[in-house]
Amino acid sequence: MQSVQDERRDERERGGGRGDEEMLIKTRGDPKIKNGGAGAEEVEESLMMELTRLVQKVVKESSWWERRGVDCSILAAAFLCLPPAFLLLGSSRLLGFSAGVLLMGVAHAVITVKGTHLASHGALSESQAWGRFWAVFFIEICGSFSARAGIQGHIKMHHAHTNVIGLGDSSVWKVPFLPRIIYLFIAPLAVPIITPLVALAQLKGQSLAHILRTILMVTLGLYSQYWLLINVSGFTSPYGALLCMLVCRAMFSVPYIHVNIFQHIGLPMFSPTRRPKRIHQMTHGVLNLPRNPLLDRIFGHSLINCHVEHHLFPFLSDNMCLKVKPVVSKYLTEKQLPYQEDTYSSRLHLFFHKYQELMVFAPPITELVGVQ
């Protein structure tokens, strides 16, 4: 579990919002900067620093409920939905059974998408110890994936190298040999099966203790749901229980894959050796989707309508991303920086008609003249 703390520390060092805040605090007490040392004005008055100060002001003025409580209550509500879901799945009536499947699917998506995402960023608790616990709980037990691999791929690669070709360009979701119909609408349904298999593959080269823990936690999560379906819901067939697990876990897989590719691929891509400053990289390479009453609560604001805010300040919770959204959008507009937004249907139309260009062939590298 110590590795989770190390990965989160790496997030701050390699471009996370906390890193900017810490740099600002340190530079204020640096005698070289006080005396007008080289680069002092650039550090103190940079666009990212100025925006960070505005956002931190909003965060400091917010209550615990706004910073963490709202999102924790949504996750708690998802867990509270599980007991009635298991009971409804034991109903002999089609309506009751269908309600159980729907309730289970929604609860599972909230826990494994919103929960794992917030836990990977340490946004559920200010305590590092609790942060490590929640990362393992949500990512491994609930999400059937390796916490270390998940944080490595999401924090150290995707966030640190957003839209950099070969590093943080969401290439993990590219399967160029699949036709567009299969990729966009059918293949995502296999995500619940693929996820634990990929987790096992990610264990290669890890310590024995880490391998055993990950296997134990993933097995615990999968077997717990299976056991409850057999002993609480009353499934008599193991295959029926497994099929029910697959249906519930795959219920929101299609929009989940869509969201992952819609908000980055097709936007400016950068070379590993030549990339713009962070604020330019994030504003050019990240896109917000519009408010959606369903997906906002299931996936979280940071993955839907506040993705730009999330990439600029990844340590913020979903609710805080929503709260600072007006500040960020106004600032970027005033500084004539892009604040990209598009609809779900528009992005789907784009990917459907430009699938070969965007998903099969590597997107061209964008040169942002004057901001590198």
| Residue 343 covered by a domain | yes
Token pair in block for residue 151: 């944080």
The structure tokens 């040392």 sit at 37
For the ranges 22-26, 107-111, 246-250, 330-334, the lowest mean pLDDT is seen at 22-26
Measuring CA to CA, which residue among 239, 241, 149 is closest to residue 195?
149
Higher pLDDT, 4 or 80: 80
Helices assigned H by DSSP within 14-110: 17-28, 31-34, 40-44, 47-60, 64, 70-80, 82-88, 94-109
The pLDDT of 36-41, averaged and rounded, is: 40
| Residue 52 covered by a domain | no
CA 351 to chain centre: 21
292 pLDDT more than 60: yes
- Supply the pLDDT for residue 339: 95
45 pLDDT more than 60: no
Residues 264 and 287: beta-carbon distance below 8 Å: yes
Rounded to 5°, angle at Cα 258 from 254 and 259: 120
Share in percent of the chain as helix, strand, coil (round to 5): 70, 5, 30
113 pLDDT more than 80: yes
- Supply the pLDDT for residue 32: 40
Choose the most confident range, by mean pLDDT, from 81-85, 146-150, 152-156: 81-85
| Residue 39 covered by a domain | no
7 pLDDT more than 90: no
| Residue 11 covered by a domain | no
Measuring CA to CA, which residue among 203, 201, 197, 205 is closest to residue 222?
197
Split into its structural domains, the chain has a count of: 1
For the ranges 31-40, 94-103, 308-317, the lowest mean pLDDT is seen at 31-40
Banded model confidence at residue 166, pLDDT cuts 50, 70, 90:
confident
Residues 177 and 297: beta-carbon distance below 8 Å: no
- Supply the pLDDT for residue 207: 94
For the ranges 19-28, 181-190, 295-304, the lowest mean pLDDT is seen at 19-28
CA atoms of 348 and 306, how far apart (whole Å) = 19
| Residue 282 covered by a domain | yes
The pLDDT of 178-196, averaged and rounded, is: 94
| Residue 35 covered by a domain | no
CA atoms of 196 and 212, how far apart (whole Å) = 14
Cα-based distances in Å from 122 to 7, 129, 139, 307: 10, 10, 12, 17
87 pLDDT more than 50: yes
| Residue 55 covered by a domain | no
Beta bridge pairs of residue 232: none
368 pLDDT more than 90: no
Banded model confidence at residue 40, pLDDT cuts 50, 70, 90:
very low
Measuring CA to CA, which residue among 286, 256, 309 is closest to residue 163?
286
Show the domain range for 292: 62-360
Higher pLDDT, 16 or 199: 199
CA atoms of 146 and 213, how far apart (whole Å) = 9
Q: Average pLDDT, whole number, for the chain?
A: 86
The structure tokens 């190298």 sit at 161
- Supply the pLDDT for residue 367: 64
CA atoms of 330 and 313, how far apart (whole Å) = 16
| Residue 125 covered by a domain | yes
Banded model confidence at residue 275, pLDDT cuts 50, 70, 90:
confident
90 pLDDT more than 80: yes
Residues 131 and 139: beta-carbon distance below 8 Å: no
pTM reported for the whole predicted model = 0.85
Helix axes 238-250, 191-201, angle to 10 degrees: 90
28 pLDDT more than 50: no
The pLDDT of 55-83, averaged and rounded, is: 97
Determine whether 345 is exposed, middle or buried from the number of CB atoms within 10 Å of its CB (0-12, 13-18, 19+): exposed
CA atoms of 191 and 104, how far apart (whole Å) = 17
74 pLDDT more than 90: yes
Measuring CA to CA, which residue among 364, 317, 366, 368 is closest to residue 119?
317
Helices assigned H by DSSP within 166-275: 180-181, 191-201, 208-231, 238-250, 253-262
Banded model confidence at residue 360, pLDDT cuts 50, 70, 90:
confident
139 pLDDT more than 60: yes
- Supply the pLDDT for residue 269: 87
Measuring CA to CA, which residue among 196, 323, 304 is closest to residue 252?
304
Cα dihedral angle (297, 303, 309, 314), rounded to 10 degrees?
100
352 pLDDT more than 90: yes
